[in-house]
Structure 1
Amino acid sequence: MWKRSPGSQDFNPAQYPKIIPFTGYSASDTKKMKTSLAIPVKKIAKSKLPEINFSNLAFGKVISDHMFVADYVNGEWTDLRIEPYASLQLDPANAALHYGQSIFEGMKAYKNEKGEILIFRGDANARRMNESAARMCMPEIPEEIFMEGLLQLVDLDRNWVPTGKGSSLYIRPFMFAMDNYIGVKPSDTYKFIIFTCPVGAYYSKPVNVKVETKWTRATEGGTGAAKTAGNYAASLYPALQAQKAGYDQLLWTDGKSHSKIEESGTMNVMFDINGTLVTAPTHTGTILKGITRDSVLQLAKDWGKPVEERFLTVSELVEAIENGTLKEAFGTGTAATIAHIAKINIEGKDYTMPSKGPEAFSHKVLAELDGIKYGEIEDPHHWIVKI
């Protein structure tokens, strides 16, 4: 259960009964949102909305008016509230700053022609966040708190959801340690926050990538499968070197032999080789369990397209490019959805990917995902929750 701390503003114990066991938000009936948690709301005095140019949105730089906040104290989540987005005050001894206990998620909300807000697979993000929390010695966030905080926050800031294809409301849930203590141990206290950003496209054009065979993103037994801040920090230097050389992202290889393709810096990666979709498996613990990745694989199976979840070696990739069996390569991720790869650099040599017509699998699956996310076509797997 959760509780709001006695003495907090507007606290009324009668408002907060025990939580009824949660059955999940699969949106199988896509009804209007029904709330089960009474979350206090403090609205912003003056909205920033009139100042925003929605025709020119830089990704992640414009923040909506409000945020959802919860605190983990004495073994339970407490003081749930929605309040104006604002800076945080942290002690210099904050454990997250020193020892890196910080995890996050990313998802999107879309607006259909009826003005309804559609959130794509938020329940999957909640589950993955708890997997990250377990790996990082952090408390799980109950799914009903995650989803109710998310739904009520997005409903409050629904006018921040952009309209039009390619635009969406990016949602960032994250959790970090709050102990003020210089000592290497898991924190006893944590803060969970959700804020949102109206965004345009993450990649405006196909990307050029470089296969990385020196630096390592993740190794077996490490934190590669967790969506934790440290994974991204460790990748910044090699990614910057690639960008200086003219590439948008890296294709990471395994940390042992650097012979097998794992994933890209901001997305999972897939290859269409001779009609079969090949992508790295997630069982090694070195690959992030991408929700867009999972959605693409499900649609491929629905359509009868052969799928192989296995490691593609660098030498296999070169062979497939040179003999013409590689039809296309693309990344999958929440921010990018589908990012077409135009060029791959392997050991100093650039390989241009085959030109892709509208019949290519990546175009077909992108159109299908967009259709589901914007409510234009049937949602057979009940991935959408409507607000």
Structure 2
Amino acid sequence: MSVTETMNEGLKRGYKIVVPAADLDAKVNEKLEEARPEVEMKGFRKGKVPMALLKKQFGQRLMGEAMQEAVDGAMNDHFEASGDRPAMQPEVKMTNEDWKEGDDVEVEMSYEALPEIPEVDLTSLKLERLVVKASDEEVDDALKSLAENAQNFEDRKKGSKAKDGDQVVLDFVGKVDGEAFDGGSAEDFPLVLGSGQFIPGFEEQLVGVKADEEKDVTVTFPEEYGAENLAGKEAVFSCTIKAVKAPAAAEINDELAQKYGAEDLAALKAQVTERLEAEYAGAARAVMKRGLLDALDGKVSFELPPSLVDAEAKQIAHQLWHEENPDVEGHDHPEIEVSDEAQKLAERRVRLGLVLAEIGQKAEVEVTDAEFTQAVMNQARQYPGQERAFFDFVQQNPQMRQQIQAPLFEDKVVDHIAEQADVKEKEVSKDDLQKAVDALDEE
């Protein structure tokens, strides 16, 4: 077998691979010999079929496998010997298309090699981490919000009319064509007006009722209602109003804290503070990551594989076009021209992607199975009731697995770099942090 270089321009490589007919024949014979002990054929005992007969019967079928294995083996040997890493899947084509058994196999292989990535002194990177402390006012506002969510309802003054947001306690009996139906009755039912708990039109008709009042509510069940015997039909609900109650926020005290699983109010305040500062830390990390990438980008310069840049630029241009044309959901649109902006951004992304991959590989950064599974679970929650199907889809789709794993790997590499870099903390206000976050979208 021979491998001859035909092109070496920049990162572009080309090779001619010749697999001698004798090598192919030997590989076919090897495969037949491996299978021979299990082959049964009329007139022969198992494992005793003559090789000549086996070759006549199965040789043509195995020749294709032998060709593919021989070419794959030559490619692997080449990459191992040369140290080249192809930027994308090599293009391989057979050049003697009129090939017949007994001929050598001639193949052309071309690819773009990944460049040598210069080593970066990570300790020379100077970064800034913004730190925001949760203020007493922000903690108090968060506690008030929790109290509102844990609201109670208190009786309104006798004779008061129910308002949207009030709780109405009522007995009701629903009838269709004068006949009561299953599930259409209840006693002492607490209904918050405006909650959308009942079918459309029901709650609106109870606005203005008073305690001890009786009222008939007439509604029409939706056509797509779950119970076929009620879908699209008009129903009359005879309601007796027992009480009208106004919402009242829960008091901010130990009892409220215990409702949210905290031991007391002090513990709840500590939890709220921790949650707020964790949110700020997440936003600050995004700001620092941009600073880290900017600093890294200024440290390296090398030739980029045109195929990677071209693919990235087209993807960016496509995404930008759809953002500017949100009404077009599919891909039935004119060819999108790559702007200078998209081209420049693509070059940055490819350059930084290669640098981060190199740093991560040298540092032996890996995404663990547990981290990957957690990420899949987080995405699966976006599809309620279809989580299992999403998991199966990810397992069967290598491209999807790569899409989930890539940002996990990048974040771990960024953390590794930040550990080596010179990072200074700077305490700022929440507003200053928000401005820094907003600036990320403007760039």
Whichever of the two has the greater Rg, that structure is 2
TM-score bracket, normalised by the shorter chain, equals under 0.3
Structure with the higher fraction of residues in strand conformation: 1
TM-score by length of 1: 0.22
TM-score by length of 2: 0.20
Structure with the higher fraction of residues in helix conformation: 2
